[in-house]
Amino acid sequence: AQTVTQSQPEMSVQEAETVTLSCTYDTSESDYYLFWYKQPPSRQMILVIRQEAYKQQNATENRFSVNFQKAAKSFSLKISDSQLGDAAMYFCAYRRRGSGYALNFGKGTSLLVTP
């Protein structure tokens, strides 16, 4: 079974600064997908960024980027120029490649953004 570990229950960052959220996972598969989801207080689940394991290039979406280290099974999220609206729970998730596999989530990191 695949497990996803987020070792930081809470993180804090000042507005305009950069913060990195950690995620490690365990799998015996060689091809899979990794995701970061954001859950604000409204409890929506919003896809932030996605990485395909066979791609060596790190994914980037505006202020959000990842550091994907396949050998180390690490998938951290970097948020640059943090904004108050970035405050939320952030969940790392793994999905096996192929048909019909569900997302496997970590327990989440609560990000606080201070003015």
Partner 1 sequence: NAGVMQNPRHLVRRRGQEARLRCSPMKGHSHVYWYRQLPEEGLKFMVYLQKENIIDESGMPKERFSAEFPKEGPSILRIQQVVRGDSAAYFCASSPGGDGNQPQHFGDGTRLSIL
Please identify which residue in 30, 56, 57, 99 interacts with partner 1, judged by CB under 8 A: 99
64 touches partner 1 (CB under 8 A): no
Q: Which is nearer to partner 1, 80 or 110 (CB)?
A: 110
Q: Note every long-range contact of 70-74, with CB atoms under 8 Å and residues 24 or more positions apart, other chains counting.
A: 72/24, 73/24, 73/25, 73/26, 73/27, 74/22, 74/23, 74/24
71 touches partner 1 (CB under 8 A): no
Contact 46, 102 (CB under 8 A): no
Q: Which is nearer to partner 1, 16 or 108 (CB)?
A: 108
Q: Which is nearer to partner 1, 10 or 17 (CB)?
A: 10
